[in-house]
């Protein structure tokens, strides 16, 4: 039974895959353990067929089956079907593969769950098609003898001969050396006890309750974990102190980690379509070239964690739901109305840190590997993959390339999201992490040169080195100052925020660049989110120390009352609250090197950050003192 709910303003294609509801029990699956391809490894070839599969949600299965039927009946040329959480992925029906819609990542095989092996795994599309062709020739209601053995044309690991037992069971045989006796034993259901060669396959009962098919869905209980923990685990490898495990990681661990990501990062419900009124575009900082060697070190996974945390915090926060209720959103009780998407620019920049890559841009110049000294290679590799990005942005040629690349991707992502989310007519916000915050800053401060196709509301700098860069450049943050020998900059956004961890060695404050007197006033501190299962992350002794510090902080903040009207106006011109700097409270004894490294990369895993972003994005406010130039 087909139900159509067509919105007149939606393009025909979008109406087709978003609003079509098909009553069907035909399951669809995607592999999760062995990728078909990897975007940053053109030489990758799967060394075995996939063995683990995840079932698409009911709504996705219905739309996949409907699109598949239209396609094979030549009623529709479209072969792309958006699926999974928030429709962040596409299924290509022609290639039968799953891939992300907004970023580059490994692709995975898709299978239509019609025939299953003894381990409840769906058979390949090619084998399923052949089985169906022969199956259609059978009439299981006729008791008279008929041909129930067929030769398969494809080269399949199970065999090349199929014997149909009944309308729901068949055996695939590598050969029939035993002749009629072998076939008779199989027909009599004696073959399993005699361990005769053959693979039993079962056809899904599309008219039944399909409980056996539901069991095929692989468990999503395994979690990939926090990126900061993975970095802690990987740091000895990168420094060359754990070489034996590095090889194992590259050969076996990588696919397992990718498997956990595709299985656990995306939470699918009965329907994956939801309204979005706030689009948050996130730009990464340094170190993304590590994603070419270790694909779990990728910004997409980081943003997946942020998206998950934001949905979790919203689901458990009546005050946040109240904000959306006040905004007259009909789905305020279940939907935060925010989507966060990654902008991954580093892989598009030509400078290579890979030892095997030639210098294609300038063949007469050596590669980085050619000039690298042999000593402490592990540390040099780490610096080459991480710190080199800062050097690249300091060089005018690459700085211009990076700004143009990020601007192009921001505009393309915005328009792509509009095409895929026709009802979106909301606000756009930026999150820039580390060097990414500096890139966004320069773009927003030079809109005459790097033109965006949309207005930016909130701009969140996270773990940002902007403060030290602007200090070196003798630049103040203000749209009104006119002091000799000083530059002035103000990003073209409604509200500016600077979020940092006090243990982050890369992060610097911004408020003293507005006025030096702000250095005497401590930054604001984010409140702990205390949802179910999260009390406080600090030990009792740490809490006592923090209370003492907070009392001193309150006394210092009293000085803000004495600020003159000009400074107050400057701050309100940048943020409606009159404050820019916000810090996460430190954990007890977070002072070592590992804690400092984790502090810089753990922002998107922190529920306090997710809570703050939700509150500031969802609250409706008017900018005080804004002087738009």
Phi, psi of 229 (to 5 degrees): -70, -40
**What letter does residue 456 receive in the DSSP assignment?**
E
CA distances from 57 to 28, 62, 123, 178 (A): 9, 9, 19, 44
Token pair for residue 606?
């922190």
Q: Which residues 6+ apart lie within 8 Å of 456 measured at CB?
A: 428, 429, 430, 444, 491, 492, 493, 494
- Residue 499's CB: how many other CB atoms inside 10 A? 28
Q: Using CA atoms, how far apart are residues 14 and 422, in angstroms rounded to an integer?
A: 8
Look up 136 and say whether it is catalytic. Answer: no
> Which residues have a Cβ under 8 Å from the Cβ of 373 and sit 6 or more positions away?
380
In 421-539, where does DSSP find H-type helix? 435-445, 466-472, 511-514
Round to whole Å and give the CA distance between 223 and 240.
Answer: 27
* Residue 3, beta-bridge partner list: 21
Residue 247 in tokens: 């090889």
Query: Positive or negative CA dihedral for 224, 225, 229, 233?
Result: negative
Alpha-carbon distance of 405 to 103, in angstroms, equals 14
Helix (H, G, I), strand (E, B) or coil at 472: helix
Q: Which of 434, 437, 464, 602 is catalytic?
A: 434
Q: Concatenated DSSP letters for 560-622?
A: GGG--HHHHHHHHHH-TTS--EEEEPPPTT--SHHHHHHHHH-GGG-HHHHHHHHHHHHS---
Tokens of 546: 């923090």
What is the DSSP track for 39-61?
A: TTBTT---SS----EEEPPHHHH
- Strand, coil or helix: 301: helix
Tell me how far apart the alpha carbons of residues 510 and 463 are, in angstroms, rounded to a whole number.
Answer: 12
Instruction: Note whether 435 and 349 are within 8 A (CB).
Output: no
| Cα dihedral 372, 377, 382, 383 sign | negative
Q: Are strands 487-489 and 475-477 parallel, antiparallel or unpaired?
A: parallel
Residue 411: partners with Cβ closer than 8 Å, 6 or more residues away: 452, 453, 454
Active site residues: 434
């Amino acid at each position: 039974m087909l139900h159509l709910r067509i919105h007149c303003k939606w393009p025909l294609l979008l109406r087709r895959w978003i609003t079509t509801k098909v009553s069907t029990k035909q399951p669809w699956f995607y592999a999760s353990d062995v990728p078909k391809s990897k975007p940053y490894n053109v030489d990758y070839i799967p060394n075995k067929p996939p063995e683990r599969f995840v079932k698409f949600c009911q709504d996705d299965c219905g739309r996949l089956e409907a699109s598949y039927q239209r396609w094979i009946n030549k009623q529709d040329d479209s072969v792309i079907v958006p699926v999974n959480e928030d429709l962040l992925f596409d299924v290509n029906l022609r290639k039968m593969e799953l891939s992300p819609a907004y970023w580059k990542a490994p692709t995975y095989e898709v299978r239509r769950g019609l025939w299953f092996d003894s381990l409840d795994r769906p058979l390949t599309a090619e084998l399923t098609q052949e089985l169906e062709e022969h199956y259609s020739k059978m009439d299981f209601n006729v008791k008279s003898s008929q041909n129930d053995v067929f030769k398969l044309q494809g080269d399949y690991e199970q065999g090349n001969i199929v014997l149909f037992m009944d309308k729901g069971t068949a055996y695939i045989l590598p050969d029939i050396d035993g002749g009629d006796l072998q076939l008779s034993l199989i027909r009599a259901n004696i073959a399993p006890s005699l361990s005769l060669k053959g693979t039993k396959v079962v056809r899904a009962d599309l008219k039944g309750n399909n409980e056996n098919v539901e069991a095929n869905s692989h468990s999503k209980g395994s979690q990939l974990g926090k990126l900061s923990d993975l970095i802690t685990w990987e740091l000895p490898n990168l420094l060359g102190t754990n070489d034996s495990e590095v090889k194992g990681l590259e050969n076996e661990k990588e696919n397992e980690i990718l498997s956990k990501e595709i299985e656990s990062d995306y939470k699918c419900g009965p329907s994956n379509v939801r309204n979005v009124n706030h689009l948050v575009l996130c730009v990464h900082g340094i170190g993304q070239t590590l994603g070419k060697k270790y694909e779990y070190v990728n910004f997409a996974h980081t943003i997946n964690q942020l998206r998950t945390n934001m949905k979790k915090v919203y689901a458990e926060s009546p005050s946040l739901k109240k904000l959306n209720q006040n905004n007259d959103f009909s789905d305020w009780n279940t939907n935060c109305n925010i989507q966060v998407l990654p902008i991954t620019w580093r892989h598009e920049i030509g400078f290579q840190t890979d030892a095997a890559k030639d210098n294609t841009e300038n063949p007469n110049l050596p590669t980085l590997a050619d000039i690298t000294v042999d000593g402490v290679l592990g540390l040099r590799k780490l610096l080459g993959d991480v710190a080199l990005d800062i050097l690249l942005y300091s060089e005018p040629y690459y700085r211009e390339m990076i700004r143009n690349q990020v601007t192009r991707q921001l505009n393309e992502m915005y328009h792509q999201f509009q095409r895929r989310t026709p009802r979106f007519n909301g606000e756009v916000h930026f999150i820039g992490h580390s060097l990414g915050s500096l890139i966004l800053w320069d773009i927003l401060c030079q809109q005459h040169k790097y033109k965006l196709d949309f207005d930016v509301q909130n701009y969140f700098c996270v773990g940002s080195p902007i403060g030290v860069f602007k200090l070196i450049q003798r630049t103040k943050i203000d749209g009104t100052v006119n002091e000799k020998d000083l530059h002035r900059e103000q990003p073209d956004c409604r509200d500016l925020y600077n979020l940092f961890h006090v243990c982050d060695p890369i992060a610097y404050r911004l408020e003293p660049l507005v006025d030096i007197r702000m250095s005497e006033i401590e930054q604001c501190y984010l409140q702990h989110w205390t949802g179910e299962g999260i009390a406080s992350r600090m030990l009792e002794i740490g809490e006592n120390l923090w209370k003492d510090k907070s009392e001193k902080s309150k006394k210092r903040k009293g000085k803000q009352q004495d600020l003159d009207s000009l400074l107050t106006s400057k701050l309100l011109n940048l943020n409606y609250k009159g404050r820019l700097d916000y810090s996460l409270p430190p954990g007890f004894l977070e002072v070592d090197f590992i804690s400092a490294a984790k502090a810089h990369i753990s922002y998107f895993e922190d529920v306090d950050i997710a809570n703050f972003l939700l509150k500031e994005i969802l609250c409706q406010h008017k900018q005080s003192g804004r002087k738009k130039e």
